[in-house]
């Protein structure tokens, strides 16, 4: 049976994008899956192409190549690169390409928790504001639209040495006793795949889903989970905001991340939702499960 759907996953070689490509290739093997990437000839793009015969990397560097990539596409997963200076232009170009194609049936945007535009008495910080603007731009195309607003990625502890260094015995976060409902990027991909392949494209139209893990964990909880997974004693080092900024700088990380964790310390990422379970039909992954699955990284 032929499948006329053509999926475009922008940021298709990143954590969430690559996981989504794999899920789509497995779930809808006869559909075409285009992997939007800055470097279609890279090793990462080649690894995506090797997933299946219908998986094809396409060049998308900022807004360059966007119109060509959208030709004939029916479903879009819009995951923008973090580029504060160019994010509005990226969303506007994508919206124009979607409209010009005339074939897109559903757009799912990868957004962030708390995404919104400024309003009287509410001035969001830069990242939520940029994604709030992006949501509005894509929604205005009139194509069925869904926003996914994930919380902080659990992958911060495996990919950011200023949070945790492989082989170490300390987790460095300035969060005190605040809980954070971390989500595994693979859970975002599973949710996106379920929405994009839904038989009724209007079922999720207009929705903005806050995606979290099934529990909120403190720094001490995380340290215990990493310790249990690695077989070592791991402690939580509760840094001050400035100490965390210094640690990020020493490792060459993005300075804006310190603001995210300052907000986390105030409880802004403690809320737990059941959106992942409702949409995928299975329980969400706990932080302890994530730690066990990634024990080789610790």
% pLDDT > 90, the chain: 82
pLDDT average, residue stretch 17-42: 94
Which pLDDT belongs to residue 221? 98
Q: Is 73 part of a structural domain of the chain?
A: yes
pLDDT of residue 173: 98
Of the pLDDT bands very low, low, confident and very high (cuts 50, 70, 90), residue 114 is: confident
Instruction: Provide the pLDDT for residue 85.
Output: 80
Identify the pLDDT of residue 81: 84
pLDDT band at 293 (very low <50, low <70, confident <90, very high): very high
pLDDT of residue 208 exceeding 70: yes
**What mean pLDDT, rounded, does the chain reach?**
94
Does residue 171 sit within a domain? no
Q: How far is CA 147 from CA 87, 110, 119, 193, 245, in A?
A: 16, 6, 19, 13, 30
Q: Is residue 111 part of a domain?
A: yes
pLDDT in tens, 75-92: 999 999 888 788 899 999
**pLDDT number for residue 63:** 84
* CATH number, domain with residue 120: 3.40.50.720
Count how many domains the chain has. 1
According to the model, what pLDDT value does residue 87 have? 87
pLDDT of 118 above 60 = yes
Q: Average pLDDT in the 238-261 region?
A: 93
Q: Name every residue whose Cβ is closer than 8 Å to that of residue 278 and which is 6 or more positions away in sequence.
A: none
- Answer yes or no: are the C-beta atoms of 58 and 65 closer than 8 Å: yes
10 assigned to some structural domain: yes
Residue 62 domain boundaries: 6-150
């Amino acid at each position: 049976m032929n499948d006329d759907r053509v999926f475009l996953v922008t940021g298709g070689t990143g954590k969430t994008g690559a996981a989504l490509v794999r899920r789509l290739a497995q779930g809808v093997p006869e559909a075409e899956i285009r992997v939007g990437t800055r470097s279609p000839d890279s090793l990462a793009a080649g690894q995506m192409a090797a997933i299946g015969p219908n998986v094809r990397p396409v060049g998308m560097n900022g807004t360059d190549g966007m119109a060509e990539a959208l030709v004939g596409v029916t479903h879009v997963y819009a995951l923008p690169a973090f580029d504060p200076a160019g994010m509005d232009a990226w969303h506007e170009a994508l919206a124009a390409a979607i409209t010009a194609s005339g074939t897109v049936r559903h757009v799912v945007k990868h957004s962030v928790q708390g995404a919104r535009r400024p309003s009287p008495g509410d001035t969001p910080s830069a990242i939520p504001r940029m994604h709030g603007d992006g949501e509005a731009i894509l929604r205005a195309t009139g194509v069925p639209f869904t926003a996914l607003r994930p919380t902080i990625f659990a992958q911060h502890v495996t990919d950011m040495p200023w949070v945790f260094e492989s082989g170490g015995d300390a987790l460095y976060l300035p969060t005190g006793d605040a809980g954070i409902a971390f989500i595994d990027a693979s859970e975002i991909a599973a949710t996106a795949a379920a929405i994009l392949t839904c038989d009724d494209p209007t079922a999720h139209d207009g929705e903005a889903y806050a995606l979290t893990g099934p529990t909120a964990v403190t720094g001490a909880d995380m340290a215990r989970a990493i310790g249990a997974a690695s077989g070592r004693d791991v402690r939580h080092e509760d840094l001050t905001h400035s100490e965390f900024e210094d640690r990020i700088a020493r490792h060459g990380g993005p300075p804006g991340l310190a603001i995210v964790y300052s907000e986390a310390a105030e409880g802004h990422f403690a809320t737990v939702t059941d959106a992942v379970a409702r949409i995928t039909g299975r329980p969400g992954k706990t932080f302890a499960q994530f730690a066990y699955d990634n024990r080789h990284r610790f």
